[in-house]
Amino acid sequence: MGHMSLTEKDVAFTNVAWGRTATVFGPENVDSRFVRIKITEYAPGSGHQLHRHPEEEVLFVLEGRGISRTATGDRPMSSGTFVFVPADTDHTTINLDPDRSLRAVIIKSPPGAVDK
């Protein structure tokens, strides 16, 4: 697949326990080999379970406020914040706002298996 562009309206979101997520670009839709880009919304006051994966991850907060938690501590996040999580690091993202979603772009490299 070649050069392309999408808007958020072009991607299909999947509901998850802590909000919703959609792959913008990844192996399953553009045959990428080195990166997966997702847009994720963490529901008000929610977060996902502590987990790890073999990919490096960059999170860029579009709106909202929360924390990124690893063994090294909590990192506050708000609109405009970038967070880097090394591969094989236990981590979680938590939306601290009880009334608004935390929206973020998630970039993983390499893209790994198709995930949820």
Percentage, residues of the chain above pLDDT 70:
96
How many structural domains compose the chain?
A: 1
pLDDT at residue 114 in the model? 57
| Structural domain harbouring 62 | 10-109
Decide if 83 is inside a domain: yes
In a domain, 114, yes or no: no
Query: Is 1 domain-assigned?
Result: no
Q: Give the CATH number, domain containing residue 104.
A: 2.60.120.10
Within a domain: residue 116? no
Would 4 be classed as within a structural domain? no
pLDDT of res. 113 = 63
Q: What is the pLDDT of residue 111?
A: 84
Below-50 pLDDT ranges, the chain: 116
Residue 3 lies in a domain: no
Residue 19: inside a domain:
yes
Full strand arrangement of the beta sheet holding 56-63: 14-16, 19-25, 36-42, 102-109, 56-63, 82-85
- pLDDT at residue 116 in the model: 46
pLDDT of residue 42: 98
As a whole number of angstroms, the distance between CA 112 and CA 51 comes to 15
Its pTM stands at 0.91
Residue 71: what pLDDT? 95
Residue 86 falls inside a structural domain:
yes
